[in-house]
Amino acid sequence: MAGEVKRSRVLDLIFAVYEDRKTPRRRTLKAAKIVHYHGEPIDCVVRDLSATGAGLVIESPIDIPPRFCLLFEGDKTCRVVRRSGNKIGVAFE
């Protein structure tokens, strides 16, 4: 088990360098909500997480504003830094 944890951390660091990230992201699978002033909260799934941002999966990228509040382990103000299909990358502010 300890070998698996160490190996996972090494892979996270490699991916952080490859993806040009400031901090490595941990893989996760947790429900969250996108809250903004223009409509109802939007359900999403946090797929990866770091101290500085997250990767989210949403049903539809339509109507996702450039800045919003992510309800996940407390409130986090986010700005969208990447969009690709139904996936968005956010940086925490």
Model confidence over 69-84: pLDDT tens digits?
Answer: 999 888 999 999 999 9
Q: Tell me the domain boundaries of the chain.
A: 25-92
Say how far apart CA 50 and CA 39 lie, in whole Å: 27
**How far apart, in whole angstroms, are the C-alpha atoms of residue 16 and residue 33?**
25
Mean pLDDT of the chain: 81
Q: Which of 27-31, 37-41, 75-79, 80-84 has the lowest mean pLDDT?
A: 37-41
Tokens read off for 66: 């450039």
Decide if 77 contacts 69 (C-beta within 8 A).
yes
What pLDDT shows up at residue 81?
Answer: 94
Which residues pair with residue 75 across a beta bridge? 71
The per-residue pLDDT for 25 is: 72
Q: Token pair of 92, please?
A: 């925490």
Burial of 12 (0-12, 13-18, 19+ CB in 10 A): middle
* Domain 25-92 belongs in CATH node 2.60.120.380: no
What per-residue confidence (pLDDT) applies to 39? 81
Q: Would you say the pTM of this structure is higher than 0.85?
A: no
Compare 51 and 12 and report the one with higher pLDDT.
51
Does the structure show a pLDDT above 50 at 18? Answer: no
